[in-house]
Structure 1
Amino acid sequence: MIEILNPTELPRAKEAGALVADILQTLKSRCEVGTNLHDIDRWTKAMIIEAGAQSCYVDYEPSFGRGPFGHYICTSVNDAVLHGRPYDYSLADGDLLSLDLAVTHGGVVADSAISFIVGDSEPPQSVAMISATERALNAGIAAAGPGARIGDISHAIGSVLNAAGYSINTEFGGHGVGSTMHQDPHVPNSGRPGRGYKLRPGLLLALEPWIMADTDKLVTDADGWTLRSATGCRTAHSEHTIAITNDGAEILTLPNQTQR
């Protein structure tokens, strides 16, 4: 299913996006050496409830998972890259943490992810990986607009990641959002320009470049959810929800103070 929002629904999408962004930035400011992943999940739950929003994850039970996800946020550390279930782990200096959050607010879903390094360490490889996903995300957004095609976005993202020396896994990627979290169209992180669904004003897309340092192969934890690099290498993930407008693409998942 592909949903197209009408102009009266876009303000609600912006509100949902700003909420997700603000929660992620608050969590980032609280994450320090010694923070437990369960604390992050607990803080997220409290902020979602306080905002009168609903989690997209707690009861989420897709075919690729094992039962309901059962948590309010994905916390992926170091070699974990997607769908990381919070567990009893206290963050260490230099850990690379990815937080992925999706909520429903006002009947519209917003989805975003950030990666950052915990503590005072700045491992060069980790810094480079985070930068590559952020630059790829910006390139994908720049390629989006009315009349463009999904392949244009995928090609822009993949070109940046390939140029930075990373191989790309296309099993999981970006996707449409609307009244539900995962909708068509699928947006691979690599593709051919000029191909795929033509973008229309009112379409919401969650774009999410993610990479692993030295592989494109994933393995699944015993929890049935957490996806890790097959080699144990570090990973990074960046994501924004955007709205296709008459003039281009608008980023919805920016914090309130920088919402545009």
Structure 2
Amino acid sequence: MIELKSAEEIDRMAATGQFVGELLAELREVAAVGVNLMDLEHHARRRIRERGAESCYWDYSPSFGRGPFRNVLCLSVNDAVLHGLPHPYVLRDGDLLSIDMALGIDGWVADSALSVVVGTPAPDDLKLIEATEVALEAGIDAARVGSQLGDVSAAIGEVARRYGYQVNNEFGGHGIGRTMHEAPHVPNSGRPGRGMRLRPGLTIAIEPWLCRGTDKIRFDGDGWTIRSADGSRAAHSEHTVAITEAGPRVLTRRPGHDTRPGNRSGQSAASA
């Protein structure tokens, strides 16, 4: 069942989204060469607790996971792209880090992700991150009243292919609102003019993720971390978006965030 949200309910989701965006921006600045992934995890735990928010990841137990997820962040490094399990790994020069987070405040949820290079960025990594960000913006722009879900998916996939990447549709975006995962599923590739028609009040997480050399994935032994099957690097970008009569409303924008092509937004401040 798909629940359409009222303007007031979208505003409440936006309050959650603002905090998610602010915290992701903080974590991006904290991520640097020599920082342990668990430092990022504990920074997020502290800030979530201070805000009175709740992690949607803690105790999350989907069919593909191995036991409940007992962290508040997904931290995926280099060839890992989704659901990376935080562990005592110290970030190295040139690592590509994806940070994904979903939180609830007063019963309303927002979900967002970014990828960043710590230390010295390789041009191929910046191109990969840029592709996910441009694809995300294309998907957002297509998320308009009267359009169809396939228009969003097609816009994402077109950008990915233009950059030279293949698309995996096993995992993608999703409805969101009172819980982290609601209907509908939002694939990262599709055909325009297909699928459900977008109506005011629909809230979705749009999240293109790409691997440099393949569209095939594999799971780590931890049952959570998803990696590119060929070991190539991967990146992930995500925003929570509300469909409104005035156009798509991004609820998780980060302070100072700019995803225009060529701005090298995937490079951390510590490496600039």
TM bucket (normalised to shorter chain) is over 0.9
Distance in 1, Cα, partners of 2:171 & 2:72: 20
Residue identity over aligned pairs, in percent, reads: 54
Deviations 1:208-229 (A, max 9, x none): 0000011111110011000001
Q: Distance in 2 between matches of 1:9 and 1:170?
A: 30
Aligned to 1:116: 116
Query: 1:23-62: per-residue Cα shift (whole Å, max 9, x none)?
Result: 0000111111111111111111111111111000011001
CA positional deviation for 1:188: 0.5
Contact 1:54 1:104 in 2 (8 A): yes
Which residue number in structure 2 is paired with residue 143 of structure 1? 142
Tell me which stretches of 4 or more aligned residues in structure 1 moved more than 2 Å. 255-258
What residue number does 1:184 align with?
A: 183
Q: Who is 1:80 aligned against? A: 80
Residue of structure 2 equivalent to 1:226: 225
Say which SS state the counterpart of residue 206 (structure 1) adopts.
strand
CA contact (8 A) 1:174 1:205 kept: yes
Aligned partner of 1:164 in structure 2 is 163
Q: State the partner residue of 1:129.
A: 128
**TM-score normalised by L of structure 2:** 0.93
Alpha carbons 2:25, 2:255 under 8 Å: kept:
no
SS of the counterpart of 1:161? helix
- One-letter code of the match for 1:167? Q
| Cα shift at 1:257 | 6.7
Q: How does 1:40-119 map onto structure 2 within 5 Å?
A: 40-119=40-119
* Residue in 1 that maps onto 2:210: 211
Listed as ranges, the gaps of 5+ residues in structure 2 are 258-272
Residue type at the aligned position of 1:58: W
Which amino acid counterpart does residue 63 of structure 2 have in structure 1?
A: S
Structure 1 unaligned regions, length at least 5:
none
* Aligned length, in residue pairs: 258
Displacement of 1:106 after TM fit?
A: 2.1
**1:195 alignment partner in structure 2:** 194
Compare 247-256 and 89-98 and name the one that shifted more. Answer: 247-256
Q: Please, what TM-score do these two structures have when normalized by structure 1?
A: 0.97
- Residue aligned with 1:9, SS: helix
Distance 1:257 1:12, change over 3 A: farther
Q: Which residue of 1 aligns with 2:6?
A: 6
State the one-letter code of the partner of 1:129: L
User: In structure 2, what is the Cα distance between the partners aligned to 1:8 and 1:251?
Assistant: 15
CA drift of 1:177 comes to: 0.1
RMSD between aligned residues: 1.2
